[in-house]
A and B are shown apart, each in its own frame.
Chain A
């Protein structure tokens, strides 16, 4: 779809969001919780905290739940009955709006979508993604952990957003990029005033601290480099980087139940765990935490990009902010680029 542009006052934006909620959408937005800000369901616009940069966790769980039932099973005599889990997800057809997230989080959706569809199609992901409408707000002040510009996005990127809001004085400009976005505003179109691209403030020239292509070219040639073992001696393998990451999507498949019935589920998993690659024979290709963090860097900056022509990182900086041992991925990517 060709992008459409609208103006909307702050007051009307509130009316719009409240109307979307009363119109039956579940709206997820940054909310104050437990002394921090997390994404959570809002009942009204005022529940949302739009003053912060980013919630502590991403909203990945709305695309890839932390536990998802792939199918249910039951035994009766010699027979096994299987109930397909996709039916529940498809039947749910829950229309959700993510409101007030940032361009980095929005970019994570289409980036993950490639993995879930490059060959076999994962309809669990697709169903959830299809029902998600993303209304993001462009960042005005990224912090020192942000590096979306380096990751070929920007604090004002509309990639992955159905609607990108850009604040300008007391009002917002809305860049509508998709049918989904248009469908969301259409019932309330009187709150919006259509305008032209020329009226929307141009994106700023966001400075880059390093070239990610250089970091990649270092990774291409230096798998065995000492840097990884030395630098990640301070990594405790807690996996917080992967669990709070909007694009980390690795999962485990497990069966759970009793002698009568149960289910096969997939759970979030992490390349930072020793058991992740442990073979039955006892052999483990990744023995040290250096090996494991290297894999995370490889997957983000090399492996994914070679298959899908983008990077598996949106530069949100959550892994750095949340790392208990202060491992800063931006600093590391800059190191890698510098060593290339």
Chain B
């Protein structure tokens, strides 16, 4: 008899301190990754301190590990934060729907991430970079409040190496350091300055609600993106991840089962309850 709440134990292969309060943790089960798709999420825990919900941030095509990024903010994340390489993390998943890559093939792609919201974007983005030839031009726009708040700093250069791929990094005004070589400006503002057009393009946008709101507006109104071609994820509070506990309802949707990936068009049909 299967207990759907029972986690597996995964080993911490590597811990990357991204910022003062965020980390990326790379995990393995039986020496490798697990089967998941970009956009899906899992329930992670240091047993004894409770579970937290995180989207995967790695490309599932990279088979040596699976990873997630998190900010230490409560009891469960403090528990995870205290772990070291070689320690075990309890894991349930993968859960939820995923980015439909079949619809992205052959198109120009725009990836827009804000703060720690870059984590799920990174998963689909690296998945596409891993099969670079399947897609048209790729534009990556990533922003955070300040230079210190940028995750994945050590792999920006890696992203830039791919052909026909633009990487734009920005920080909010006042968040720049002396000698900062990237852009300064809010993500939606910088987005509008990029040479993008809606035709034959797909945009993936994740970040704080306020950033998503304005980025969606820019993409639709200024660049002519169709609402169905803008994809985002919802970050509702969850507990079970299995469509039971009732916490993540938005209208008739269980974000944990029917989401977390939604197009802007789908979001429009949901009540303002997220």
Contact = CB atoms under 8 A, between A and B. Distances in A.
Determine whether A and B are in direct contact in the complex, meaning some CB atoms lie less than 8 angstroms apart: yes
Interface of A: 70-71, 73, 75, 78, 80, 82, 84-86, 90, 115-116, 118-124, 127, 223-224, 249-255, 257, 259, 262, 264, 266, 269, 271, 276-281, 283, 285-286, 291, 295, 298-299, 302-303, 306-307
B47 A295 contact: no
Contact of B245 (A262, A269, A299): A269
A252 B249 contact: no
A255 B50 contact: yes
A70 B6 contact: yes
Contacts of B77: 280
Nearest to B115: A281
A70 B50 CA distance: 12
27 contacts: A73-B47, A75-B48, A82-B9, A84-B6, A85-B3, A90-B1, A115-B243, A120-B244, A121-B2, A121-B4, A123-B1, A123-B2, A124-B3, A251-B246, A253-B50, A253-B240, A253-B245, A254-B50, A257-B48, A264-B47, A269-B245, A283-B209, A285-B273, A286-B273, A295-B273, A298-B249, A298-B251
A302 B252 contact: yes
B47 A80 contact: yes
Contacts of B49: 255
B167 interface: no
Given A82-B9, A251-B246, A264-B47, 16 more contacts: A71-B3, A82-B7, A86-B3, A118-B243, A119-B242, A120-B243, A121-B4, A122-B4, A122-B244, A123-B1, A249-B244, A251-B240, A251-B245, A279-B237, A299-B249, A303-B252
Contacts of B273: 223, 285-286, 291, 295
Q: SS class of chain A's interface: helix, strand, loop or mixed?
A: mixed
A307 B252 contact: yes
Interface of B: 1-7, 9, 45, 47-51, 71, 73-74, 77, 86-88, 90, 208-209, 235-237, 239-240, 242-247, 249-252, 257, 271-274
Contacts of B2: 86, 121, 123
A255 B45 contact: yes
Nearest to B2: A123
Contacts of B5: 70-71, 85, 253, 264, 266
A78 B6 CA distance: 20
| Smallest CB-CB A-B distances: 5 pairs | A250-B246, A223-B271, A86-B3, A70-B5, A306-B252
A70 B51 CA distance: 13
Contacts of B244: 115-116, 120, 122, 249, 251
B251 A82 contact: no
A278 B237 contact: yes
A120 B86 CA distance: 31
A219 B86 CA distance: 51
A124 B2 CA distance: 10
Nearest to B51: A253
A281 B208 contact: yes
A106 to B, nearest CB: 22
Contact of B9 (A80, A121, A262): A80
A276 B247 contact: yes
A127 B3 CA distance: 11
Nearest to A258: B48
Nearest to A282: B73
Which residue of B9, B71, B273 has the most chain A CB atoms within 10 A of its CB atom?
B273
A223 B209 CA distance: 20
A67 B201 CA distance: 50
A299 B253 CA distance: 11
Contact of B3 (A75, A84, A283): A84
A56 B83 CA distance: 47
A336 to B, nearest CB: 15
B156 to A, nearest CB: 25
A294 to B, nearest CB: 9
Nearest to B242: A120
Contacts of A90: 1
A231 B137 CA distance: 53
A303 B270 CA distance: 12
Contacts of B209: 283
A303 B4 contact: no
A124 B1 CA distance: 10
A295 B87 CA distance: 41
A255 B48 contact: yes
A306 B190 CA distance: 41
Given A73-B48, A251-B239, A271 B6 contact: no
B245 A295 contact: no
B240 A295 contact: no
A237 to B, nearest CB: 16
Contacts of B45: 255
